[in-house]
């Protein structure tokens, strides 16, 4: 999985437990992950047997979704053909190109010897790929391989001053972990998608929650996928269209209107919403919105961050430990909206407790 801000690695078990609980309560089967990003959540739901639709604005996300959600990992002959092509691409000698020049010399995201390999593989990839799905699996393998040898902290707004230890390794293409079955993929503005989407049982909403644009933060992936050699600017060598490509969800004055319209227009019986109290939206506003669109609303706390005092213990002025801390701060929640939402959260929490008895 590529390094990605806001990727729902830690939330996935909770989201899956909630989706399972909705299924047990209401027979739900179809899910749309409307801001799918890395597709981590969509993948987990597909593995769990849901019929999944994955959507995001980013080209790299469409590629990941086509690989993990649309591609049928059980299609043995297709997988064999891809394996052969990966072997061929991985053996290509490196050659100087846009990635080497822009991302390894003008900037330092990858060591030039790996940059040359990215250039050679990307230049050859469209020529060897048969069809959009095969191309997406090959591109996913390239993104994952490049991510394993990059020299960033996980954002492409900057790169490390000194080379990251992993960047010295030779990049290697590997087959992504494909999933059995197929699903549906879109690359649409979420609000446009809402008007076109066939009705689903569950919609999962995880929009950007502040001004930081994913398009800018992951511009290197966007450029490798598009293969369009754009003009670039600044120390980070961002694509020039980072200046003009803005999501409504990254603009405080527009985000709430966009989100409320989305919630009201999505054809979904249930809505699952990721919420952080560090973003633009307010807890109470989300509850009112979801209550007006879907009826019952319940919240599951998902990230417990202890107060700083709890991390270091409570100490008196002389530095002596004087007590233990009992309260926790909740910063992140998963909202469930739809019939019997409260019972669904209880059912999901029971399931989680059975699976991880030592959870907080």
Ligand X SMILES: C[S@@+](CC[C@H](N)C(=O)[O-])C[C@H]1O[C@@H](n2cnc3c(N)ncnc32)[C@H](O)[C@@H]1O
Cβ proximity to ligand X: between 8 and 237 the closer is 8
- In angstroms, give the least distance from the CB of 138 to ligand X: 21
- Which of residues 68, 103, 110, 214 is near ligand X by CB under 6 A? 214
- Footprint of ligand X on residues 94-133 (CB under 6 A)? none
Least distance in angstroms from the C-beta of 221 to ligand X:
10
Q: Which residue, 4 or 50, has its beta carbon nearer to ligand X? A: 4
- Beta partners for 323? 314
Site map (CB under 6 A) of ligand X, residues 299-318, x = contact: --------------------
Q: Are 82 and 128 in contact (CB under 8 A)?
A: no
- Shortest distance in whole angstroms from residue 96 CB to ligand X: 30
Cβ proximity to ligand X, 25 vs 210, nearer residue: 210
- The answer to whether 53 contacts ligand X (rule: CB under 6 A) is no
Which residues on adjacent β-strands are paired with residue 53? 32, 184
Binding residue count for ligand X, defined by CB under 6 A: 23
137 touches ligand X (CB under 6 A): no
Rule CB under 6 A: say whether 332 interacts with ligand X.
no
Using CB atoms within 10 A of its CB, is residue 19 exposed (0-12), middle (13-18) or buried (19+)? Answer: buried
190 binds ligand X (CB under 6 A): yes
In this structure, are residues 124 and 89 in contact, taking their beta carbons and an 8 Å threshold? Answer: yes
Confirm or reject binding of residue 35 to ligand X (CB under 6 A).
Answer: yes
Q: Answer for the pair 119, 95: CB distance below 8 angstroms, yes or no.
A: yes
The residue among 17 and 190 lying less far from ligand X, judged by its C-beta, is: 190
Token pair recorded at residue 17: 């437990």
Lay out the sheet containing 297-306: strands in order across.
184-186, 51-55, 30-33, 200-205, 268-276, 328-337, 297-306
Q: Which of 28, 32, 41, 142 binds ligand X (CB under 6 A)?
A: 41
Helices 112-128 and 131-148, axial angle in degrees (round to 10): 170
The answer to whether 56 contacts ligand X (rule: CB under 6 A) is yes
d(CA 52, CA 186): 11
Instruction: Measure Cα distances from 120 to 92, 97, 125 in Å.
Output: 7, 8, 9
Residues that bind ligand X (CB under 6 A): 4, 6-8, 35-38, 40-41, 56-58, 61, 189-190, 206-208, 214, 247-249
């Amino acid at each position: 999985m590529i390094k990605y801000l806001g990727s729902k690695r830690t939330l996935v078990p909770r989201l899956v437990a909630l989706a399972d609980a909705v299924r047990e309560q209401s027979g739900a089967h179809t899910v749309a992950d409307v801001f799918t990003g890395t597709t981590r959540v969509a993948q987990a739901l597909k593995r769990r047997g849901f019929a999944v639709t994955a959507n995001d604005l980013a080209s790299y996300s469409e590629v990941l979704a086509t690989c993990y959600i649309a591609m049928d990992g059980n299609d043995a002959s297709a997988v064999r053909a891809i394996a052969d092509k990966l072997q061929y691409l991985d053996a290509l000698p490196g050659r100087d190109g846009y990635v080497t020049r822009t991302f390894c010399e003008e900037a330092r995201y990858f060591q030039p010897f790996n940059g040359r390999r990215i250039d050679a593989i990307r230049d050859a990839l469209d020529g060897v790929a048969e069809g959009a799905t095969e191309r997406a699996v090959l591109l996913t393998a390239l993104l994952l391989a490049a991510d394993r040898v990059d020299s960033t902290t996980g954002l492409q707004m900057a790169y490390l001053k000194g080379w990251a230890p992993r960047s010295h390794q030779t990049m290697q293409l590997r087959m992504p972990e494909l999933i059995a079955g197929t699903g549906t993929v879109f690359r649409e503005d979420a609000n446009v998608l809402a008007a076109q989407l066939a009705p689903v049982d569950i919609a999962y909403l995880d929009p950007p929650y502040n001004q930081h644009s994913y398009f800018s933060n992951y511009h290197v992936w966007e450029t490798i996928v598009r293969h369009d050699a754009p003009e670039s600017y600044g120390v980070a060598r961002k694509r020039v269209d980072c200046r003009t490509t803005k999501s409504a969800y990254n603009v405080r004055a527009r985000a709430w209107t966009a989100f409320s319209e989305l919630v009201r227009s999505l054809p979904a019986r249930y809505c699952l919403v990721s919420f952080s109290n560090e973003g633009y939206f307010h807890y109470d506003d989300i509850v009112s919105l979801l209550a007006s669109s879907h009826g019952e609303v319940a919240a599951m706390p998902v990230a417990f961050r202890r107060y700083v005092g709890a991390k270091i213990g409570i100490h008196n002025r002389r530095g002596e430990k004087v007590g233990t801390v009992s309260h926790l701060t909740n910063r992140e929640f998963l909202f469930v909206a739809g019939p019997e939402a409260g019972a669904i959260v209880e059912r999901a929490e029971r399931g989680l407790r059975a699976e991880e008895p030592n959870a907080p």
